[in-house]
């Protein structure tokens, strides 16, 4: 979940466009195939290549994608061979087992299924019709294309992996094509007899060799290792910049996505790129990144102007800039505000040595908290929920969430009904403005309701969101005051 939040807040990589007008003929026929639990396996099993969108009817992004996806399906139906686009309502109860099987964490999620569904890959292309068509034509064709002239590869602003071979046969060539098949949704692959046809042609290269071109660092790297698994790891390591650059240039967005998808701890330096110190910061930061390369930490430098989503997500303020923040895989965050260029290296060393205390994002503690539904923030979560010795129903909400707004008056009524019961508290926390303990609560969407008994047992409420059902759930699952007393005596 966190990865999806980062990417959505940091980037608007793809423009999810609104509805387009269609000719009456295309309105009469739906080109996107509707699948569900009853026909999914049989339908997918009959196709070598099929694209499936998992969506929810209430999802705004899904609604915006729908006309683009339909238009792309219409165009691709005329392809030779046709490319089939399908969709599954993952919110439908009977289809949730499919969503679980394909590890669907958010909507819309698009998967590419190959060879009857035996190979599953994430769709990582654009989300407007022309971009979908272009991306899927490449994905449905050969995994690697032959370079026959210098004009065949001209875009060096992205990663391109080229195999140079004296002949297109043999174990090394077959391993290269297997690599291309495995990683084709991530990178563009090509092969050639003649190294002079490579971007920035190089007549000194003789195959077999794999050359990875990239628009950063040393610009290209050669591999002569042809074990598929080893080569895949080498490609992955070489395709991440020493320091990922985040600004408004869309050419950098794929590398920002890779940065956030990395399993490493993530160090992010936010600076005003118009500052007189920007070149000094970049130089010092790059030195630190080189020092820790291969040590489970990745580095990004972001322009404040382009990083407002990050500031909202991490609870940062512009008067803290220049600042560096590190987030680890367990969700802990470490912050150094108003950092100077010469202090970056020593602070990162302190972090690696375990000398830096975690930073917690929290809204201010309310001065008045007298409404029936109590407000919890990160700084009061421990005292109000975990240490309260009360039965607490806690709502995780987002201020912009329509379902949360519908639930609010119902929770108010539930809270009022328990006002005379000192052992029960109804509370809420803005999950977008406060850090949530990792591993304790699994908040995948809003609203999410959890119930903590007075004795400390935590469970998620998954019943109907009516006053009567929620009250009934609390009565059945709560600990009574007398129960608490007996438990303490036993202890």
Compute CA 206 distance to the chain's CA centroid, rounded to the nearest angstrom: 40
Give the chain's domains with CATH numbers: 33-140 (3.40.30.10), 145-239 (3.40.30.10), 244-353 (3.40.30.10), 374-477 (3.40.30.10)
Residue tagged 């979908």 (tokens): 132
Is 62 in the active site?
Answer: yes
CA distance 168 to 244: 35
CA distance 94 to 91: 9
For residue range 236-294, what is the model confidence (pLDDT) as tens digits? 889 989 999 999 888 888 888 889 888 899 999 999 999 999 999 999 999 999 999 88
For residue range 432-454, what is the model confidence (pLDDT) as tens digits? 889 888 778 988 889 999 999 99
Tens place of pLDDT per residue across the chain (491 aa): 444 444 444 443 333 333 333 333 444 689 999 999 999 999 999 999 999 999 999 998 999 999 999 999 999 999 989 999 999 999 999 999 999 999 998 899 999 999 999 989 899 889 999 999 999 998 988 999 999 888 887 666 789 999 999 999 999 999 999 999 889 888 889 999 988 888 776 767 777 999 999 989 988 999 999 999 999 999 988 998 999 999 988 888 888 888 988 889 999 999 999 999 999 999 999 999 999 988 889 999 999 888 888 887 787 888 899 999 999 987 788 999 999 999 999 999 999 999 999 888 889 999 999 999 999 999 999 999 999 999 999 999 999 899 999 999 999 999 999 999 999 999 999 998 898 887 789 888 899 999 999 999 999 999 999 999 999 999 999 987 545 443 443 33
What the block records as the tokens of 338 is 């108003």
Q: Among residues 401, 408, 433, 443, which one is catalytic?
A: 401
Q: Is the pTM of this model over 0.85?
A: no
CA distance 446 to 58: 12
DSSP 352-376: HTT-S--B---PPPPS---SSSEE-
SS3 87: strand
Q: What pLDDT sits at residue 184? A: 87
Q: Among residues 13, 33, 59, 458, which one is catalytic?
A: 59
Angle made by CA atoms 278, 279, 284, in degrees to the nearest 5: 100
Query: 152: which strand partners?
Result: none
What the block records as the tokens of 110 is 């698009």
Average pLDDT score over the chain? 88
Query: 120: which strand partners?
Result: 113
SS3 351: helix
Phi, psi of 35 (to 5 degrees): -115, 160
> Residues 6 or more apart from 414 whose CB is under 8 A from it?
393, 426, 467, 470, 471, 474
> Residues 6 or more apart from 134 whose CB is under 8 A from it?
125, 126
> Residues 6 or more apart from 447 whose CB is under 8 A from it?
395, 396, 397, 401, 403, 404, 407
Q: Among residues 32, 50, 113, 404, which one is catalytic?
A: 404
Is 12 in the active site?
Answer: no
Is 59 in the active site?
Answer: yes
Query: 336: which strand partners?
Result: 324
What the block records as the tokens of 421 is 């019961």
Q: What pLDDT sits at residue 293? A: 87
Compute CA 106 distance to the chain's CA centroid, rounded to the nearest angstrom: 9
Beta strand 458-461 pairing with 144-146:
unpaired
CA distance 113 to 52: 8
Q: What pLDDT sits at residue 203? A: 67
Q: Which helix (H) or strand (E) element contains residue 222?
A: strand 220-223
CA distance 434 to 377: 6
CA-CA-CA-CA dihedral for 234, 239, 242, 244, to nearest 10: -150
CA distance 391 to 376: 14
| Residue length of the chain | 491
Q: What pLDDT sits at residue 201? A: 64
SS3 158: coil
What the block records as the tokens of 17 is 């466009």
Query: 210: which strand partners?
Result: 163, 223
């Amino acid at each position: 979940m966190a990865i999806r939040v980062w990417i959505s807040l940091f980037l608007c990589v793809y423009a999810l466009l609104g509805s387009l007008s269609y000719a009456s003929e295309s309105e009469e026929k739906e080109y996107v195939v509707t699948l569900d639990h009853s026909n999914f396996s049989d339908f997918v099993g009959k196709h070598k290549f099929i694209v499936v969108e998992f969506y929810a009817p209430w999802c705004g992004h899904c609604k915006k994608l729908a006309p683009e996806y339909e238009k792309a399906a219409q165009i691709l139906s005329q392809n030779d061979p046709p490319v089939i686009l399908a969709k599954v309502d993952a919110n439908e109860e009977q289809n949730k087992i499919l969503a679980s099987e394909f590890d669907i964490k958010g909507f819309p999620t698009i998967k590419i299924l190959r060879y009857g569904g035996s190979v599953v890959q994430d769709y990582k292309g654009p989300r407007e019709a022309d971009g979908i068509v272009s991306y899927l034509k490449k994905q449905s064709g050969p995994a690697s294309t032959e370079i026959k002239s210098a004009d065949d590869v001209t875009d060096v602003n992205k990663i391109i992996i080229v195999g140079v071979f004296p002949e297109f046969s043999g174990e090394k060539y077959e391993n290269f094509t297997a690599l291309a098949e495995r990683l084709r949704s991530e990178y563009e692959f090509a092969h050639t007899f003649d190294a002079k046809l490579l971007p920035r042609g190089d007549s000194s290269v003789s195959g077999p060799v794999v050359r990875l071109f990239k628009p950063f660092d040393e610009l290209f790297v050669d591999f002569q290792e042809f074990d598929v698994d080893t080569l895949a790891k080498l490609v992955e390591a070489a395709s991440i910049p020493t320091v990922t650059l985040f600004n408004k240039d869309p050419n950098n967005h794929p590398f920002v996505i890779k940065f956030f998808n990395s399993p490493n701890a993530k160090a992010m330096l936010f600076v005003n790129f118009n500052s007189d110190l920007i070149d000094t910061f970049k130089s010092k930061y790059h030195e630190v990144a080189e020092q820790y390369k291969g040590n489970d930490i990745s580095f990004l430098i972001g322009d404040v102007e382009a990083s407002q989503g990050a500031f909202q997500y991490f609870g940062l303020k512009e008067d803290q800039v220049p600042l560096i923040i590190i987030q680890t895989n367990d969700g802990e965050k470490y912050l150094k505000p108003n950092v100077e260029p010469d202090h970056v290296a020593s602070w990162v060393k302190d972090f690696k040595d375990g000398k830096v205390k975690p930073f917690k994002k929290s809204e201010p503690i309310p001065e008045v908290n007298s409404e029936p539904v109590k407000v919890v923030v990160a700084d009061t979560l421990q005292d109000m929920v975990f240490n309260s010795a009360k039965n607490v129903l806690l709502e995780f909400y987002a201020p912009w969430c329509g379902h949360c707004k519908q639930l609010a008056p119902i929770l108010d009524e539930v809270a009022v009904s328990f006002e005379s019961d000192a052992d029960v508290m109804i509370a809420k926390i803005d999950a977008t403005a406060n850090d949530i303990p990792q591993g304790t609560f699994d908040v995948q969407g809003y609203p999410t309701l959890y119930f903590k008994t007075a004795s400390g047992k935590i469970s998620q409420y998954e019943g109907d969101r009516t006053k009567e059902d929620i009250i009934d759930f609390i009565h059945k699952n709560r600990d009574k005051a007398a129960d608490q007393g007996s438990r303490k005596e036993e202890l």
